[in-house]
């Protein structure tokens, strides 16, 4: 499934009915279509304002449920802001979150003097300096690859939480006209990790930090050592993989 995260308070449903979330909208729609309550599992609980192109959810249905009718009804009820692009039966043991082997995120930066109104809701406009040091930003991705404790880049909800993650890809792509994409893939991500990593890498591009600083921040395990996270609207959950099978 895919969605524009603008106007939603993240994915996870909230107890307050006035708080609009992606998960809350989907749960309500499924309840109407299926005629029974559902308990959603989700591959990545995106934050407020974060988008998704290849999100995956799972839930139980009764035997004999017409999935084609459910899919058509969800598109009519939720589109175009929330779109369920594919609906299929999965093995009973499948779980959208715990069965996933990796997630791929893309963060978009617009680095030019004049912003693009058509990218304003999906990209972070960085006008200074022009241009960012892309070579330095690419080199600064190297210390992130591998298995590390990402405590310095994550908001810690639980003081005893293990924030060790395996990052298998981190690279910058130049899309032209000042548009830059950070692609980062890991087995899992902790809260605000991609946005915090992006903020540090953009600081390298601005000349405020260097590659050694990225290594130092990573090894410190100190959340205060990293800058505030990049804005949420530039982030998109692009793809989720299950034993090598791509969804998204």
User: Considering 47, 60, 160, 177, which one is annotated as catalytic?
Assistant: 47
- 158 catalytic? Reply is no
- Can you tell me the distance from the alpha carbon of 152 to that of 118, in angstroms, rounded to the nearest whole number? 33
- Can you tell me the distance from the alpha carbon of 233 to that of 8, in angstroms, rounded to the nearest whole number? 11
What is the DSSP track for 62-118?
Answer: -TT--HHHHHHHHHHHHTTTEE--------TT--TTTT--EEEEEEEEE-SSS--TT
Cα 137–Cα 214–Cα 155 angle in degrees, nearest 5:
110
- Can you tell me the distance from the alpha carbon of 241 to that of 245, in angstroms, rounded to the nearest whole number? 5
Select from 184, 198, 188 the least CA-distant residue to 228. Answer: 198
Burial of 39 per CB tally in 10 Å (0-12, 13-18, 19+): exposed
Cα 207–Cα 196–Cα 5 angle in degrees, nearest 5:
120
Q: Catalytic residue numbers? A: 47
């Amino acid at each position: 499934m895919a969605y524009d995260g603008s106007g939603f308070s993240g994915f996870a449903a909230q107890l307050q009915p006035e708080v609009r979330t992606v998960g809350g909208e989907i749960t309500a729609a499924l309840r109407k279509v299926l005629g029974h309550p559902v308990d959603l599992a989700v591959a990545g609980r995106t934050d407020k304002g974060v988008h998704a192109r290849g999100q995956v959810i799972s839930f139980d249905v009764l035997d004999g449920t017409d999935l084609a009718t459910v899919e058509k009804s969800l598109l009519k009820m939720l589109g175009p802001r929330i779109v369920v692009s594919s609906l299929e039966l999965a093995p009973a043991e499948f779980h959208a979150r715990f069965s996933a082997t990796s997630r791929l995120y893309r963060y978009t930066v617009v680095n030019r003097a004049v912003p693009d109104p058509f990218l304003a809701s999906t990209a972070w406009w960085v006008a200074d300096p022009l241009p960012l040091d892309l070579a330095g930003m690419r080199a600064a991705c190297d210390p992130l690859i591998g298995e590390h404790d990402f405590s310095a880049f994550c908001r810690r909800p639980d003081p005893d939480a293990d924030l060790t993650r395996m990052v298998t890809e981190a690279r910058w792509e130049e899309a032209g006209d000042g548009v830059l994409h950070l692609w980062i893939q890991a087995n899992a991500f902790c809260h605000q990790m991609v946005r915090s990593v992006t903020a540090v890498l953009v600081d390298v591009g601005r000349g405020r930090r260097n590659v050694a600083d990225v290594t130092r921040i990573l090894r410190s395990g100190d959340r205060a050592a990293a800058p505030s996270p990049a804005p949420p609207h530039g982030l998109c959950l692009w793809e989720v993989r299950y034993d090598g099978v791509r969804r998204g």
